[in-house]
Amino acid sequence: MESYGKGAIVGLDGEIEHAAALLHPRFGAPVRAAVGKGDDIIPSTKKVGGAGSSLLFPITNKNRIWDFDRMDAAEISIADAPRPDEILVALALAIGGRPLHRTQADS
């Protein structure tokens, strides 16, 4: 596992800060421990939305956030989640970079 990203959608009866409270550090710290190392932050995004809302969240290399070939995004949508009093939390893990990447970092 080389890269990761996380996100949350808070149901309509919640607040955006409910997602922040879960994602940083209650969710992030155990994820870093589970994947081994993880020098850099787990990029994330959060929003308030109804059931079926989509969430697009960033993915970066777990140890080199500026590795352009590993920068990507994931999108999730679940038809019946989150309900008004729920929070949907998502994690994306990647084993490689984007196929056919063409970006090179300056050395």
What does the pLDDT read at residue 104? Answer: 64
What does the pLDDT read at residue 82? Answer: 98
Does residue 100 form part of some domain?
no
Report the C-alpha gap between 12 and 68 in whole angstroms.
Answer: 35
What does the pLDDT read at residue 60? Answer: 94
Does residue 66 form part of some domain?
yes
Q: Which of 38, 69, 43 lies closest to 56 in space, CA to CA?
A: 43
- Whole-number average pLDDT of the chain: 91
Question: Lowest-pLDDT range, 12-26, 57-71, 89-103?
Answer: 89-103
Does residue 101 form part of some domain?
no
Q: Are 70 and 3 in contact (CB under 8 A)?
A: yes
Does residue 56 form part of some domain?
yes
Report the C-alpha gap between 31 and 98 in whole angstroms.
Answer: 22
Report the C-alpha gap between 42 and 29 in whole angstroms.
Answer: 9
Does residue 102 form part of some domain?
no
Does residue 88 form part of some domain?
yes
Domain range for residue 22? 3-94
Does residue 68 form part of some domain?
yes
Does residue 20 form part of some domain?
yes
Report the C-alpha gap between 59 and 52 in whole angstroms.
Answer: 22
- Tens digit of each residue's pLDDT (9 = 90 or more) over 35-82: 988 888 899 999 999 999 999 999 999 999 999 888 999 999 999 999
Neighbours of 9 (CB within 10 A): 27
Across the range 12-24, mean pLDDT stands at 94
- Asked if the model's pLDDT at residue 96 lies above 90, the reply is no
Give the chain's domain count. 1
User: Containing H/E element for 11?
Assistant: none
Residue 13 belongs to domain with CATH number: 3.30.1330.110
